Structure 1
Amino acid sequence: MSTYRERMEAYAHHAALLASQDNTPTLCQAARWIKEADKIVVGGAAGLSAAGGMDYMSHETLEQVFPQLSKKRYDHFWKALWDPERTQEQKWAMLAAEALWARFDYPVISAYTHLLRILQNKDYFVLTSNIDGQFIKAGFDPQRVFEPQGSIALLQCSRPCCDMLWDGEPFYRQIARDIDPVSFSCPTEDIPHCPHCGAPLVQNLRGPDCFIPRETMKNRQPFEDFMKEAEHSSTLFLELGVGFNSPGLIRHYFQRLTWLWPNARLIRFNRDYPSTPKKLGERALPVGGDLKENLLKLDRFCQEEL
Protein backbone atom coordinates (compact mmCIF):
# COMPACT_ATOMS: atom_id res chain seq x y z
CA MET A 1 0.00 0.00 0.00
CA SER A 2 1.38 3.41 -0.96
CA THR A 3 2.02 6.08 1.65
CA TYR A 4 0.24 9.43 1.75
CA ARG A 5 3.36 11.15 0.47
CA GLU A 6 3.65 8.75 -2.43
CA ARG A 7 0.01 9.29 -3.36
CA MET A 8 0.43 13.08 -3.28
CA GLU A 9 3.54 12.82 -5.46
CA ALA A 10 1.61 10.67 -7.93
CA TYR A 11 -1.20 13.24 -8.00
CA ALA A 12 1.32 16.03 -8.64
CA HIS A 13 2.99 14.08 -11.45
CA HIS A 14 -0.33 13.35 -13.15
CA ALA A 15 -1.48 16.97 -12.74
CA ALA A 16 1.73 18.26 -14.34
CA LEU A 17 1.37 15.80 -17.21
CA LEU A 18 -2.21 16.85 -17.97
CA ALA A 19 -1.34 20.54 -17.71
CA SER A 20 1.42 20.11 -20.29
CA GLN A 21 -0.88 18.57 -22.91
CA ASP A 22 -3.40 20.05 -25.29
CA ASN A 23 -6.70 19.21 -23.60
CA THR A 24 -8.96 20.21 -26.47
CA PRO A 25 -10.03 16.58 -27.19
CA THR A 26 -10.76 16.07 -23.48
CA LEU A 27 -12.90 19.20 -23.25
CA CYS A 28 -14.77 18.26 -26.42
CA GLN A 29 -15.55 14.90 -24.84
CA ALA A 30 -16.68 16.68 -21.67
CA ALA A 31 -19.04 18.82 -23.77
CA ARG A 32 -20.53 15.67 -25.32
CA TRP A 33 -21.03 14.09 -21.91
CA ILE A 34 -22.80 17.20 -20.68
CA LYS A 35 -25.08 17.17 -23.71
CA GLU A 36 -25.89 13.47 -23.25
CA ALA A 37 -26.62 13.66 -19.51
CA ASP A 38 -30.21 13.70 -18.29
CA LYS A 39 -29.14 15.06 -14.90
CA ILE A 40 -26.00 16.85 -13.75
CA VAL A 41 -24.79 16.99 -10.16
CA VAL A 42 -22.32 19.85 -9.77
CA GLY A 43 -19.74 19.74 -7.00
CA GLY A 44 -18.02 23.09 -6.42
CA ALA A 45 -15.25 23.71 -3.91
CA ALA A 46 -12.49 26.18 -3.11
CA GLY A 47 -10.56 25.59 -6.33
CA LEU A 48 -13.47 26.97 -8.34
CA SER A 49 -13.39 30.33 -6.57
CA ALA A 50 -9.59 30.33 -6.41
CA ALA A 51 -9.62 30.17 -10.21
CA GLY A 52 -11.12 33.66 -10.12
CA GLY A 53 -8.60 35.08 -7.65
CA MET A 54 -10.31 34.23 -4.36
CA ASP A 55 -7.34 32.18 -3.25
CA TYR A 56 -6.92 31.80 0.51
CA MET A 57 -3.59 30.01 0.00
CA SER A 58 -1.96 32.68 -2.18
CA HIS A 59 0.68 34.98 -0.69
CA GLU A 60 0.10 37.36 -3.58
CA THR A 61 -3.58 37.64 -2.65
CA LEU A 62 -2.64 38.33 0.97
CA GLU A 63 -0.28 41.13 -0.08
CA GLN A 64 -2.83 42.71 -2.42
CA VAL A 65 -6.00 42.41 -0.32
CA PHE A 66 -4.72 42.29 3.27
CA PRO A 67 -1.35 44.09 3.26
CA GLN A 68 -1.47 44.64 7.04
CA LEU A 69 -1.60 40.87 7.60
CA SER A 70 1.17 40.34 5.07
CA LYS A 71 3.36 42.62 7.19
CA LYS A 72 2.67 40.36 10.18
CA ARG A 73 4.53 37.63 8.25
CA TYR A 74 1.63 35.35 7.49
CA ASP A 75 2.24 33.26 4.36
CA HIS A 76 -1.40 33.39 3.25
CA PHE A 77 -4.83 34.38 4.53
CA TRP A 78 -5.77 30.84 5.55
CA LYS A 79 -2.85 30.77 7.98
CA ALA A 80 -3.98 34.05 9.52
CA LEU A 81 -7.54 32.78 9.99
CA TRP A 82 -6.26 29.74 11.88
CA ASP A 83 -3.65 31.49 14.01
CA PRO A 84 -4.11 30.02 17.52
CA GLU A 85 -2.41 33.04 19.11
CA ARG A 86 -4.96 35.59 17.89
CA THR A 87 -6.89 37.59 20.45
CA GLN A 88 -10.68 37.68 20.16
CA GLU A 89 -10.39 41.23 18.84
CA GLN A 90 -7.96 40.10 16.12
CA LYS A 91 -10.11 37.09 15.31
CA TRP A 92 -13.19 39.21 14.71
CA ALA A 93 -11.23 41.73 12.67
CA MET A 94 -10.06 38.89 10.39
CA LEU A 95 -13.52 37.32 10.22
CA ALA A 96 -15.04 40.65 9.23
CA ALA A 97 -12.34 41.28 6.64
CA GLU A 98 -12.85 37.81 5.20
CA ALA A 99 -16.64 38.05 5.06
CA LEU A 100 -16.64 41.46 3.37
CA TRP A 101 -14.01 40.35 0.86
CA ALA A 102 -15.30 36.87 0.04
CA ARG A 103 -19.06 37.03 0.61
CA PHE A 104 -20.24 40.59 0.16
CA ASP A 105 -17.85 42.64 -1.97
CA TYR A 106 -16.15 40.18 -4.31
CA PRO A 107 -17.49 40.46 -7.88
CA VAL A 108 -19.00 37.54 -9.75
CA ILE A 109 -16.22 35.21 -10.84
CA SER A 110 -16.24 34.48 -14.57
CA ALA A 111 -15.75 30.75 -13.99
CA TYR A 112 -19.23 30.62 -12.41
CA THR A 113 -20.72 32.60 -15.28
CA HIS A 114 -19.29 30.17 -17.82
CA LEU A 115 -20.48 27.23 -15.72
CA LEU A 116 -24.03 28.62 -15.67
CA ARG A 117 -23.99 28.91 -19.48
CA ILE A 118 -22.66 25.36 -19.73
CA LEU A 119 -25.61 24.13 -17.69
CA GLN A 120 -28.30 26.11 -19.49
CA ASN A 121 -31.37 23.99 -20.22
CA LYS A 122 -29.92 21.13 -18.14
CA ASP A 123 -31.52 19.53 -15.10
CA TYR A 124 -28.87 20.23 -12.45
CA PHE A 125 -28.32 20.52 -8.73
CA VAL A 126 -25.31 22.09 -7.01
CA LEU A 127 -23.58 20.68 -3.94
CA THR A 128 -20.92 23.05 -2.66
CA SER A 129 -18.57 23.33 0.28
CA ASN A 130 -17.98 27.02 -0.51
CA ILE A 131 -19.28 29.74 1.76
CA ASP A 132 -18.73 32.69 -0.59
CA GLY A 133 -22.17 32.67 -2.24
CA GLN A 134 -20.72 32.81 -5.75
CA PHE A 135 -23.24 30.33 -7.19
CA ILE A 136 -26.13 32.57 -6.15
CA LYS A 137 -24.32 35.75 -7.25
CA ALA A 138 -23.74 34.25 -10.69
CA GLY A 139 -27.44 33.54 -11.18
CA PHE A 140 -27.85 29.87 -10.27
CA ASP A 141 -31.32 28.93 -9.07
CA PRO A 142 -31.21 29.31 -5.24
CA GLN A 143 -33.56 26.34 -4.96
CA ARG A 144 -30.95 24.17 -6.70
CA VAL A 145 -27.92 25.05 -4.57
CA PHE A 146 -27.19 23.04 -1.42
CA GLU A 147 -24.59 24.65 0.89
CA PRO A 148 -24.34 22.24 3.86
CA GLN A 149 -21.27 23.92 5.39
CA GLY A 150 -23.24 27.01 6.39
CA SER A 151 -22.84 30.70 5.72
CA ILE A 152 -20.49 33.42 6.92
CA ALA A 153 -23.18 35.91 5.96
CA LEU A 154 -25.27 34.89 8.97
CA LEU A 155 -24.56 35.05 12.70
CA GLN A 156 -26.11 33.00 15.51
CA CYS A 157 -25.96 32.76 19.28
CA SER A 158 -22.98 30.70 20.50
CA ARG A 159 -25.00 29.21 23.37
CA PRO A 160 -27.48 29.00 21.53
CA CYS A 161 -30.38 30.35 23.53
CA CYS A 162 -32.60 30.52 20.43
CA ASP A 163 -32.63 29.58 16.76
CA MET A 164 -32.47 33.18 15.56
CA LEU A 165 -30.10 34.13 12.74
CA TRP A 166 -28.83 37.66 12.15
CA ASP A 167 -27.49 39.34 9.02
CA GLY A 168 -23.77 39.65 9.67
CA GLU A 169 -23.04 42.45 7.20
CA PRO A 170 -23.82 45.41 9.50
CA PHE A 171 -21.58 43.95 12.21
CA TYR A 172 -18.78 43.27 9.72
CA ARG A 173 -18.99 46.80 8.29
CA GLN A 174 -18.73 48.33 11.76
CA ILE A 175 -15.77 46.14 12.69
CA ALA A 176 -13.98 46.92 9.41
CA ARG A 177 -14.35 50.65 10.02
CA ASP A 178 -12.69 50.29 13.43
CA ILE A 179 -9.83 47.87 12.67
CA ASP A 180 -6.48 49.04 13.98
CA PRO A 181 -4.10 48.82 11.00
CA VAL A 182 -1.09 47.88 13.13
CA SER A 183 -2.50 45.20 15.43
CA PHE A 184 -5.29 44.25 13.00
CA SER A 185 -7.78 44.07 15.84
CA CYS A 186 -11.14 45.67 16.51
CA PRO A 187 -12.46 47.33 19.67
CA THR A 188 -13.85 44.87 22.19
CA GLU A 189 -17.23 46.61 22.07
CA ASP A 190 -17.53 45.79 18.34
CA ILE A 191 -17.64 42.05 19.01
CA PRO A 192 -21.31 41.07 18.45
CA HIS A 193 -23.38 39.50 21.21
CA CYS A 194 -26.79 37.84 21.32
CA PRO A 195 -29.44 40.47 22.13
CA HIS A 196 -31.41 37.85 24.11
CA CYS A 197 -28.85 36.26 26.42
CA GLY A 198 -25.67 38.28 25.92
CA ALA A 199 -23.53 35.37 24.73
CA PRO A 200 -21.10 36.09 21.89
CA LEU A 201 -22.43 35.57 18.39
CA VAL A 202 -20.62 33.20 16.00
CA GLN A 203 -20.83 32.58 12.29
CA ASN A 204 -23.52 30.12 11.20
CA LEU A 205 -21.04 27.45 10.11
CA ARG A 206 -21.08 23.69 10.51
CA GLY A 207 -18.65 22.31 13.06
CA PRO A 208 -19.37 23.81 16.50
CA ASP A 209 -21.90 22.02 18.71
CA CYS A 210 -24.02 25.17 18.70
CA PHE A 211 -24.58 25.11 14.91
CA ILE A 212 -28.14 26.03 13.89
CA PRO A 213 -28.89 24.17 10.62
CA ARG A 214 -32.25 25.74 9.79
CA GLU A 215 -31.19 28.02 6.93
CA THR A 216 -28.29 25.88 5.75
CA MET A 217 -30.29 22.69 5.41
CA LYS A 218 -33.41 24.11 3.75
CA ASN A 219 -32.37 22.61 0.38
CA ARG A 220 -31.34 19.25 1.79
CA GLN A 221 -34.63 17.49 0.98
CA PRO A 222 -34.82 18.85 -2.59
CA PHE A 223 -31.22 17.70 -3.11
CA GLU A 224 -31.97 14.23 -1.76
CA ASP A 225 -35.07 14.00 -3.97
CA PHE A 226 -32.97 14.99 -6.98
CA MET A 227 -30.39 12.33 -6.13
CA LYS A 228 -33.06 9.62 -5.90
CA GLU A 229 -34.11 10.42 -9.46
CA ALA A 230 -30.49 10.74 -10.59
CA GLU A 231 -29.70 7.21 -9.46
CA HIS A 232 -31.93 5.83 -12.22
CA SER A 233 -30.99 8.39 -14.88
CA SER A 234 -28.08 9.11 -17.15
CA THR A 235 -26.27 11.23 -14.58
CA LEU A 236 -23.09 13.25 -14.84
CA PHE A 237 -21.12 14.25 -11.77
CA LEU A 238 -19.34 17.49 -12.64
CA GLU A 239 -16.67 18.11 -10.00
CA LEU A 240 -14.85 21.45 -9.91
CA GLY A 241 -11.86 22.36 -7.76
CA VAL A 242 -12.37 19.78 -5.00
CA GLY A 243 -9.19 18.88 -3.14
CA PHE A 244 -8.52 17.05 0.10
CA ASN A 245 -9.51 19.63 2.70
CA SER A 246 -12.90 17.93 3.15
CA PRO A 247 -12.98 15.22 0.45
CA GLY A 248 -15.86 13.28 1.97
CA LEU A 249 -18.48 15.89 1.11
CA ILE A 250 -17.96 15.91 -2.67
CA ARG A 251 -14.85 14.17 -4.03
CA HIS A 252 -15.25 10.75 -2.41
CA TYR A 253 -19.06 10.99 -2.56
CA PHE A 254 -19.07 11.63 -6.32
CA GLN A 255 -16.61 8.89 -7.21
CA ARG A 256 -18.40 6.37 -4.97
CA LEU A 257 -21.78 7.05 -6.60
CA THR A 258 -20.22 6.95 -10.07
CA TRP A 259 -18.94 3.47 -9.20
CA LEU A 260 -22.30 2.33 -7.80
CA TRP A 261 -24.54 3.79 -10.52
CA PRO A 262 -23.98 2.01 -13.86
CA ASN A 263 -25.28 4.95 -15.93
CA ALA A 264 -23.22 7.60 -14.16
CA ARG A 265 -20.12 9.43 -15.34
CA LEU A 266 -17.65 11.71 -13.56
CA ILE A 267 -15.72 14.71 -14.90
CA ARG A 268 -13.10 15.97 -12.44
CA PHE A 269 -11.67 19.45 -13.06
CA ASN A 270 -8.72 20.00 -10.77
CA ARG A 271 -5.44 21.86 -11.15
CA ASP A 272 -3.60 19.89 -8.45
CA TYR A 273 -5.52 16.61 -8.00
CA PRO A 274 -7.25 15.66 -11.28
CA SER A 275 -6.69 11.90 -11.01
CA THR A 276 -9.74 9.63 -10.99
CA PRO A 277 -9.97 6.05 -9.65
CA LYS A 278 -8.80 3.46 -12.15
CA LYS A 279 -11.81 1.26 -11.40
CA LEU A 280 -14.09 3.88 -12.99
CA GLY A 281 -12.34 3.32 -16.31
CA GLU A 282 -13.79 5.25 -19.23
CA ARG A 283 -16.69 6.53 -17.13
CA ALA A 284 -14.37 9.10 -15.50
CA LEU A 285 -12.64 12.01 -17.20
CA PRO A 286 -9.79 13.85 -15.42
CA VAL A 287 -9.16 17.43 -16.55
CA GLY A 288 -6.04 19.23 -15.30
CA GLY A 289 -4.67 22.70 -15.86
CA ASP A 290 -6.16 26.12 -15.19
CA LEU A 291 -9.82 25.78 -14.21
CA LYS A 292 -10.76 29.29 -15.35
CA GLU A 293 -9.40 28.69 -18.85
CA ASN A 294 -10.89 25.20 -19.00
CA LEU A 295 -14.40 26.45 -18.22
CA LEU A 296 -14.02 29.23 -20.76
CA LYS A 297 -13.13 26.69 -23.45
CA LEU A 298 -15.75 24.20 -22.30
CA ASP A 299 -18.41 26.91 -22.48
CA ARG A 300 -17.46 27.56 -26.10
CA PHE A 301 -17.49 23.86 -26.98
CA CYS A 302 -20.88 23.38 -25.30
CA GLN A 303 -22.38 26.24 -27.32
CA GLU A 304 -21.07 24.58 -30.48
CA GLU A 305 -22.68 21.31 -29.40
CA LEU A 306 -26.12 22.93 -28.99
Structure 2
Amino acid sequence: MESDIAIKQAAAWIRDAEGLLITAGAGMGVDSGLPDFRGTEGFWRAYPALRHHGFSFEDIANPAGFASHPRLSWGFYGHRLALYRATVPHAGFSILRRWASTMKHGAFVFTSNVDGQFQKAGFDAERIVECHGTIHRLQCVEACTDATWPADDFTPVVDETTCLLQNVMPRCPHCGGLARPNILMFGDWQWVERNVDRQERRLAAWLRSVERPLVIELGAGRAVPTVRRFSEQHDFRFIRVNPRDYSVSPAVGVGIAGGALETLQRLVDVVDGSL
Protein backbone atom coordinates (compact mmCIF):
# COMPACT_ATOMS: atom_id res chain seq x y z
CA MET A 1 0.00 0.00 0.00
CA GLU A 2 2.77 2.44 0.94
CA SER A 3 4.57 1.60 -2.32
CA ASP A 4 1.39 2.22 -4.35
CA ILE A 5 0.99 5.65 -2.75
CA ALA A 6 4.61 6.50 -3.56
CA ILE A 7 4.15 5.35 -7.17
CA LYS A 8 1.05 7.53 -7.60
CA GLN A 9 2.76 10.57 -6.09
CA ALA A 10 5.84 10.04 -8.26
CA ALA A 11 3.70 9.68 -11.39
CA ALA A 12 1.87 12.94 -10.63
CA TRP A 13 5.20 14.75 -10.25
CA ILE A 14 6.48 13.30 -13.53
CA ARG A 15 3.38 14.56 -15.36
CA ASP A 16 3.81 18.04 -13.82
CA ALA A 17 7.56 18.50 -14.28
CA GLU A 18 9.13 20.89 -16.79
CA GLY A 19 12.52 19.20 -16.69
CA LEU A 20 13.83 15.81 -15.55
CA LEU A 21 17.11 15.62 -13.64
CA ILE A 22 18.10 11.95 -13.72
CA THR A 23 20.68 10.98 -11.09
CA ALA A 24 22.00 7.44 -11.45
CA GLY A 25 24.36 5.09 -9.68
CA ALA A 26 25.59 1.57 -10.35
CA GLY A 27 22.14 0.05 -9.82
CA MET A 28 21.01 1.64 -13.08
CA GLY A 29 23.28 -0.70 -15.06
CA VAL A 30 22.47 -3.95 -13.27
CA ASP A 31 19.28 -4.46 -15.28
CA SER A 32 21.35 -4.27 -18.48
CA GLY A 33 23.40 -7.20 -17.18
CA LEU A 34 26.36 -5.20 -15.91
CA PRO A 35 28.13 -6.60 -12.83
CA ASP A 36 27.48 -5.30 -9.32
CA PHE A 37 30.77 -4.77 -7.48
CA ARG A 38 28.99 -4.33 -4.12
CA GLY A 39 31.09 -6.18 -1.57
CA THR A 40 34.28 -8.14 -2.15
CA GLU A 41 32.45 -11.38 -3.01
CA GLY A 42 30.37 -9.59 -5.65
CA PHE A 43 33.53 -8.15 -7.19
CA TRP A 44 35.28 -11.52 -7.23
CA ARG A 45 32.27 -13.16 -8.89
CA ALA A 46 32.67 -10.66 -11.72
CA TYR A 47 36.48 -10.98 -11.82
CA PRO A 48 37.46 -14.38 -10.36
CA ALA A 49 41.04 -14.04 -11.62
CA LEU A 50 41.59 -11.17 -9.20
CA ARG A 51 40.70 -13.37 -6.22
CA HIS A 52 43.89 -15.30 -6.95
CA HIS A 53 45.87 -12.05 -6.82
CA GLY A 54 44.06 -11.05 -3.62
CA PHE A 55 42.84 -7.78 -5.13
CA SER A 56 39.71 -6.01 -3.98
CA PHE A 57 37.88 -3.49 -6.16
CA GLU A 58 39.65 -0.69 -4.25
CA ASP A 59 43.02 -2.31 -4.98
CA ILE A 60 42.57 -2.70 -8.74
CA ALA A 61 40.57 0.51 -9.30
CA ASN A 62 43.63 2.46 -8.23
CA PRO A 63 46.06 4.52 -10.33
CA ALA A 64 49.06 3.01 -8.50
CA GLY A 65 48.40 -0.26 -10.34
CA PHE A 66 49.37 1.25 -13.68
CA ALA A 67 52.91 1.58 -12.32
CA SER A 68 53.16 -1.70 -10.37
CA HIS A 69 51.12 -4.09 -12.59
CA PRO A 70 50.04 -2.22 -15.73
CA ARG A 71 48.91 -5.27 -17.73
CA LEU A 72 46.68 -6.41 -14.87
CA SER A 73 45.24 -2.92 -14.44
CA TRP A 74 44.61 -2.63 -18.16
CA GLY A 75 43.23 -6.18 -18.19
CA PHE A 76 40.60 -5.11 -15.65
CA TYR A 77 39.74 -1.83 -17.37
CA GLY A 78 40.08 -3.30 -20.85
CA HIS A 79 37.59 -6.02 -20.00
CA ARG A 80 35.17 -3.43 -18.65
CA LEU A 81 35.61 -1.26 -21.74
CA ALA A 82 34.78 -4.20 -24.03
CA LEU A 83 31.82 -5.17 -21.83
CA TYR A 84 30.33 -1.68 -21.83
CA ARG A 85 30.75 -1.39 -25.59
CA ALA A 86 28.81 -4.63 -26.04
CA THR A 87 26.04 -3.89 -23.51
CA VAL A 88 22.58 -2.88 -24.70
CA PRO A 89 20.89 -0.36 -22.37
CA HIS A 90 17.71 -1.72 -20.79
CA ALA A 91 14.23 -0.43 -21.60
CA GLY A 92 14.17 1.91 -18.60
CA PHE A 93 16.42 4.34 -20.48
CA SER A 94 13.81 4.65 -23.22
CA ILE A 95 11.08 5.29 -20.64
CA LEU A 96 13.09 8.18 -19.19
CA ARG A 97 13.77 9.60 -22.65
CA ARG A 98 10.09 9.46 -23.55
CA TRP A 99 9.06 11.29 -20.37
CA ALA A 100 11.71 13.94 -20.95
CA SER A 101 10.57 14.45 -24.56
CA THR A 102 7.20 15.71 -23.26
CA MET A 103 8.80 18.23 -20.88
CA LYS A 104 9.57 21.82 -21.81
CA HIS A 105 13.24 21.56 -20.81
CA GLY A 106 13.86 17.87 -21.46
CA ALA A 107 16.32 15.91 -19.34
CA PHE A 108 19.78 16.28 -17.83
CA VAL A 109 21.73 13.34 -16.39
CA PHE A 110 24.09 13.26 -13.40
CA THR A 111 25.72 9.84 -13.03
CA SER A 112 28.62 8.21 -11.23
CA ASN A 113 28.62 5.44 -13.84
CA VAL A 114 31.57 5.44 -16.22
CA ASP A 115 29.99 3.07 -18.74
CA GLY A 116 28.53 5.54 -21.27
CA GLN A 117 25.15 3.79 -21.25
CA PHE A 118 23.11 7.01 -21.25
CA GLN A 119 24.85 8.18 -24.43
CA LYS A 120 24.34 4.77 -26.02
CA ALA A 121 20.64 4.95 -25.09
CA GLY A 122 20.30 8.20 -27.03
CA PHE A 123 20.61 10.87 -24.36
CA ASP A 124 22.30 14.08 -25.50
CA ALA A 125 26.00 13.87 -24.60
CA GLU A 126 25.94 17.62 -23.94
CA ARG A 127 23.38 17.03 -21.18
CA ILE A 128 25.24 14.42 -19.14
CA VAL A 129 27.53 14.91 -16.15
CA GLU A 130 29.80 11.90 -15.57
CA CYS A 131 31.00 12.90 -12.11
CA HIS A 132 33.56 10.07 -11.91
CA GLY A 133 34.67 10.35 -15.53
CA THR A 134 34.25 7.86 -18.35
CA ILE A 135 35.97 4.69 -19.50
CA HIS A 136 35.47 5.80 -23.10
CA ARG A 137 38.13 8.52 -22.82
CA LEU A 138 41.83 8.20 -21.96
CA GLN A 139 44.36 10.40 -20.19
CA CYS A 140 48.06 10.30 -19.41
CA VAL A 141 48.94 8.25 -16.31
CA GLU A 142 51.26 11.07 -15.24
CA ALA A 143 48.73 13.77 -16.23
CA CYS A 144 51.40 15.46 -18.34
CA THR A 145 48.53 17.45 -19.88
CA ASP A 146 44.93 18.15 -18.94
CA ALA A 147 43.86 16.81 -22.34
CA THR A 148 41.81 13.64 -22.72
CA TRP A 149 41.04 11.74 -25.91
CA PRO A 150 38.58 9.08 -27.11
CA ALA A 151 39.40 5.42 -26.47
CA ASP A 152 37.78 4.49 -29.80
CA ASP A 153 41.03 3.31 -31.41
CA PHE A 154 41.87 0.95 -28.53
CA THR A 155 40.45 -2.58 -28.78
CA PRO A 156 41.53 -4.51 -25.68
CA VAL A 157 42.35 -8.20 -25.85
CA VAL A 158 42.14 -9.67 -22.36
CA ASP A 159 42.94 -13.18 -21.10
CA GLU A 160 39.96 -13.73 -18.79
CA THR A 161 41.69 -16.53 -16.88
CA THR A 162 44.49 -14.19 -15.76
CA CYS A 163 42.83 -10.76 -16.29
CA LEU A 164 45.94 -9.66 -18.18
CA LEU A 165 45.88 -7.44 -21.27
CA GLN A 166 47.38 -9.32 -24.22
CA ASN A 167 47.80 -6.54 -26.78
CA VAL A 168 49.65 -3.22 -26.82
CA MET A 169 48.72 -0.84 -24.03
CA PRO A 170 47.54 2.64 -25.07
CA ARG A 171 50.06 5.47 -24.88
CA CYS A 172 49.80 9.19 -24.25
CA PRO A 173 50.13 11.06 -27.59
CA HIS A 174 51.75 14.01 -25.80
CA CYS A 175 54.61 12.40 -23.85
CA GLY A 176 54.61 8.79 -25.05
CA GLY A 177 53.99 7.46 -21.55
CA LEU A 178 51.31 5.01 -20.51
CA ALA A 179 47.68 6.07 -20.83
CA ARG A 180 44.81 5.12 -18.51
CA PRO A 181 41.04 5.56 -18.47
CA ASN A 182 39.81 9.05 -17.60
CA ILE A 183 38.08 7.67 -14.49
CA LEU A 184 38.30 8.92 -10.92
CA MET A 185 39.89 6.01 -9.07
CA PHE A 186 40.61 5.40 -5.40
CA GLY A 187 43.48 7.53 -4.06
CA ASP A 188 43.58 9.37 -7.38
CA TRP A 189 45.46 12.69 -7.42
CA GLN A 190 46.12 12.79 -11.16
CA TRP A 191 42.62 12.38 -12.54
CA VAL A 192 42.02 14.96 -15.28
CA GLU A 193 38.63 16.50 -14.47
CA ARG A 194 38.40 19.16 -17.17
CA ASN A 195 35.57 17.34 -18.98
CA VAL A 196 33.52 17.03 -15.79
CA ASP A 197 34.05 20.71 -14.95
CA ARG A 198 32.64 21.61 -18.37
CA GLN A 199 29.71 19.22 -17.94
CA GLU A 200 28.86 20.65 -14.51
CA ARG A 201 28.80 24.20 -15.87
CA ARG A 202 26.27 23.13 -18.51
CA LEU A 203 24.14 21.45 -15.84
CA ALA A 204 24.17 24.57 -13.64
CA ALA A 205 22.97 26.67 -16.58
CA TRP A 206 20.19 24.16 -17.35
CA LEU A 207 18.98 24.12 -13.75
CA ARG A 208 18.71 27.91 -13.74
CA SER A 209 16.36 27.69 -16.73
CA VAL A 210 13.91 25.11 -15.32
CA GLU A 211 11.03 26.31 -13.18
CA ARG A 212 9.65 22.93 -12.08
CA PRO A 213 12.47 20.38 -12.17
CA LEU A 214 12.03 16.84 -10.87
CA VAL A 215 14.89 14.68 -9.61
CA ILE A 216 14.62 10.93 -10.14
CA GLU A 217 17.46 9.00 -8.51
CA LEU A 218 18.01 5.42 -9.68
CA GLY A 219 20.26 2.78 -8.13
CA ALA A 220 22.52 5.10 -6.11
CA GLY A 221 23.87 3.40 -3.00
CA ARG A 222 25.48 4.58 0.21
CA ALA A 223 28.92 3.00 -0.31
CA VAL A 224 29.98 5.75 -2.75
CA PRO A 225 27.42 8.44 -1.89
CA THR A 226 28.29 11.05 -4.54
CA VAL A 227 25.01 10.71 -6.42
CA ARG A 228 22.84 10.55 -3.29
CA ARG A 229 24.41 13.71 -1.90
CA PHE A 230 23.92 15.51 -5.21
CA SER A 231 20.27 14.41 -5.40
CA GLU A 232 19.57 15.71 -1.90
CA GLN A 233 21.32 19.06 -2.16
CA HIS A 234 18.63 20.65 -4.32
CA ASP A 235 15.30 21.94 -3.10
CA PHE A 236 13.41 20.09 -5.84
CA ARG A 237 10.76 17.39 -5.90
CA PHE A 238 12.68 14.15 -5.52
CA ILE A 239 12.01 10.46 -6.28
CA ARG A 240 14.47 7.87 -4.92
CA VAL A 241 14.42 4.37 -6.44
CA ASN A 242 16.55 1.69 -4.76
CA PRO A 243 16.02 -1.98 -3.84
CA ARG A 244 17.39 -1.48 -0.30
CA ASP A 245 18.33 2.10 0.58
CA TYR A 246 15.20 3.83 -0.69
CA SER A 247 14.23 5.88 2.36
CA VAL A 248 13.87 9.63 1.96
CA SER A 249 12.34 12.31 4.16
CA PRO A 250 8.68 12.88 3.20
CA ALA A 251 9.41 16.58 3.43
CA VAL A 252 11.59 16.40 0.33
CA GLY A 253 10.44 13.43 -1.70
CA VAL A 254 9.23 9.87 -2.06
CA GLY A 255 11.16 6.62 -1.84
CA ILE A 256 10.28 3.53 -3.87
CA ALA A 257 11.70 0.08 -3.10
CA GLY A 258 12.75 -1.67 -6.28
CA GLY A 259 15.24 -1.96 -9.10
CA ALA A 260 15.51 0.73 -11.75
CA LEU A 261 13.85 -1.12 -14.63
CA GLU A 262 10.99 -2.72 -12.69
CA THR A 263 10.14 0.58 -10.98
CA LEU A 264 10.24 2.59 -14.20
CA GLN A 265 7.92 0.02 -15.79
CA ARG A 266 5.52 0.33 -12.85
CA LEU A 267 5.66 4.10 -13.08
CA VAL A 268 5.09 4.26 -16.83
CA ASP A 269 1.75 2.46 -16.49
CA VAL A 270 0.54 5.06 -13.99
CA VAL A 271 2.05 8.06 -15.80
CA ASP A 272 0.35 6.97 -19.03
CA GLY A 273 -2.93 6.63 -17.16
CA SER A 274 -3.52 2.95 -17.87
CA LEU A 275 -3.93 2.17 -14.18
Please give the TM-score of this superposition, normalised by the length of structure 2: 0.82
Q: Residues 39 and 47 from structure 1, CA distance in 2 versus in 1: closer, same or farther, beyond 3 angstroms?
A: same
Give the match for residue 207 of structure 2.
227
Count of aligned residue pairs for this structure pair: 265
Give the match for residue 97 of structure 1.
79
Give the match for residue 193 of structure 2.
213
- 1:253 Cα deviation (Å)? 2.8
The answer to whether residue 244 in structure 2 is matched with residue 267 in structure 1 is: no
Measured in 1, the distance between the counterparts of 2:80 and 2:101 equals 31
Measured in 2, the distance between the counterparts of 1:204 and 1:73 equals 24
- Please state whether the residue corresponding to 1:112 is helix, strand or coil: helix
Contact 1:118–1:298 (CA<8 Å) still a contact in 2? no
Matched letter for residue 255 of structure 1: E
Q: Residues 219 and 245 from structure 1, CA distance in 2 versus in 1: closer, same or farther, beyond 3 angstroms?
A: same
Bigger proportion of residues as helix: 1
The answer to whether residue 122 in structure 2 is matched with residue 139 in structure 1 is: yes
Contact 1:81–1:95 (CA<8 Å) still a contact in 2? no
Q: Residues 37 and 227 from structure 1, CA distance in 2 versus in 1: closer, same or farther, beyond 3 angstroms?
A: same
Return 5+ residue gaps in structure 1 as ranges. 1-20, 259-263
Over the matched positions of the two proteins, sequence identity in percent amounts to: 23
Q: Residues 286 and 142 from structure 1, CA distance in 2 versus in 1: closer, same or farther, beyond 3 angstroms?
A: same
Give the match for residue 257 of structure 1.
234
Return 5+ residue gaps in structure 2 as ranges. none
The answer to whether residue 221 in structure 2 is matched with residue 243 in structure 1 is: yes
- 1:90 Cα deviation (Å)? 1.4
Contact 1:43–1:250 (CA<8 Å) still a contact in 2? yes
1:27-42 map, 5 Å: 27-42=7-22
Measured in 1, the distance between the counterparts of 2:12 and 2:219 equals 21
Contact 1:69–1:80 (CA<8 Å) still a contact in 2? no
- 1:215 Cα deviation (Å)? 3.1
How large is the RMSD of aligned CA atoms in angstroms? 3.0
Matched letter for residue 297 of structure 1: R
Selected match of 2:32 from 36, 44, 52: 52
- Deviations 1:209-262, CA, capped at 9 Å, x for gaps: 3333333333222211122344xx333221111111332x3312322323xxxx
Measured in 1, the distance between the counterparts of 2:173 and 2:127 equals 33
Q: Residues 158 and 108 from structure 1, CA distance in 2 versus in 1: closer, same or farther, beyond 3 angstroms?
A: same
Contact 1:100–1:169 (CA<8 Å) still a contact in 2? no
- Deviations 1:100-127, CA, capped at 9 Å, x for gaps: 102x111122221222223221223211
- Please state whether the residue corresponding to 1:55 is helix, strand or coil: coil
Q: Residues 302 and 244 from structure 1, CA distance in 2 versus in 1: closer, same or farther, beyond 3 angstroms?
A: same
Contact 1:151–1:204 (CA<8 Å) still a contact in 2? yes
- 1:70 Cα deviation (Å)? 8.0
- 1:95 Cα deviation (Å)? 0.9
Selected match of 1:117 from 98, 122, 133: 98
Measured in 2, the distance between the counterparts of 1:87 and 1:221 equals 36
Measured in 2, the distance between the counterparts of 1:216 and 1:47 equals 21
The structure having more radius of gyration, on CA atoms, is 1
Matched letter for residue 114 of structure 2: I
